[in-house]
Amino acid sequence: MLEDLFSLDGRLAVVTGASGAIGREAARVFLALGATVVMTGRTPEHLDEARASLPADAPVTALLGDARDAGHVAEIAETAAAQGGADILVNSVGTNIRKPLLDATNEDMQFLWDVNMASVWAVTQALVPQMVEKGYGKIINMCSIGSFIGLELKTMYAITKGALAQHTRSAAVELAKYGIRVNGIAPGYVDTPMTHAWIHSEREEQFLSAIPLRRFAQVEDMGGAFAYLASRASDHMTGQLLVLDGGETISSA
């Protein structure tokens, strides 16, 4: 049955960065498919707003914290363990510093690395034992087209997302024997608070002309990928990135 293929009934999904636009969409989709959700975020008002955007009676736990903080990572793992253990993990924590390579500092690079890659590593390591115990799990990493192409003014970001793609592939190889699938989503521009001012600037036409579908993604465009990668529908897929870029990376425009 098609519904069974996508059902997340009885699943516990941990979504980091769920106070943000894309993570919030993942939480919304998972709840609609029957999952229980643990959502995390760093900014209290954004986390409250994200929680309030979901049905009041939905099975959701919201955890506030910085993903670079080991105590917060431990709290995520403990919260998930107390609810039967994580079946699904979405690593959506991420940030960006747009700067020419020549102006970037070591501190800038270290900050992006810590948020975009080291925190993902730590959260994943903390939750994987719960999936090993179940003999099943789905990890979804928020990568980017910067995982495999160069990006003007975003070399540091591309480095972190390139590493995340490689983390996705290598963890997929290592964890396959436990029934854990590790995949990623690689969007081009998604219109979210992270990108809004940047894409709707004097550069807008230039950006759009590079996208064959001639539009930026909306968060809803990510929903189908979350449903697919979190459910049994994708059980024979691991170590892959779903590229949701309106055709940008297959076009010579």
Ligand X SMILES: NC(=O)c1ccc[n+]([C@@H]2O[C@H](COP(=O)([O-])OP(=O)(O)OC[C@H]3O[C@@H](n4cnc5c(N)ncnc54)[C@H](O)[C@@H]3O)[C@@H](O)[C@H]2O)c1
What amino acid positions are annotated as catalytic residues?
157
Q: Which stretch binds ligand X (CB under 6 A): 12-20, 73-81, 167-175, 235-243?
A: 12-20
Q: Name residues contacting ligand X, limited to 74-93 (CB under 6 A).
A: 92-93
Assess 225 for contact with ligand X (CB under 6 A): no
> Strand 88-91 to strand 12-16: parallel, antiparallel, or no bridges (unpaired)?
parallel
- Judged by CB under 6 A, the residue of 14, 31, 115, 229 near ligand X is 115
- Judged by CB under 6 A, the residue of 13, 15, 60, 67 near ligand X is 67
Q: Which stretch binds ligand X (CB under 6 A): 39-47, 77-85, 97-105, 124-132?
A: 39-47
Q: Which C-beta is closer to ligand X: that of 12 or that of 211?
A: 211
Q: How far is CA 191 from the centre of its chain?
A: 15
Helix (H) or strand (E) holding 200: none
Assess 227 for contact with ligand X (CB under 6 A): no
Q: Shortest CA distance to 231 belongs to which of 40, 80, 34? A: 34
Q: Name residues contacting ligand X, limited to 136-195 (CB under 6 A).
A: 142, 144, 187, 189-190, 192-195
Q: Shortest CA distance to 185 belongs to which of 91, 115, 98, 96? A: 91
Closest approach of ligand X to the CB of residue 145, in Å: 7
Token output for 150: 């160069």
- Judged by CB under 6 A, the residue of 41, 85, 162, 184 near ligand X is 41
Closest approach of ligand X to the CB of residue 46, in Å: 6
List of E strands, 105-190: 137-142, 180-187
Q: Which C-beta is closer to ligand X: that of 135 or that of 212?
A: 212
Residue 151 φ/ψ, nearest 5 degrees:
-130, 120
Q: Which residues are CB-contacts of 14 (< 8 A; sequence separation ≥ 6)? A: 37, 38, 40, 76, 80, 86, 88, 89, 90, 123, 127
Binding footprint of ligand X on the chain (CB under 6 A): 17, 19-23, 41-43, 66-68, 92-95, 115, 142, 144, 187, 189-190, 192-195
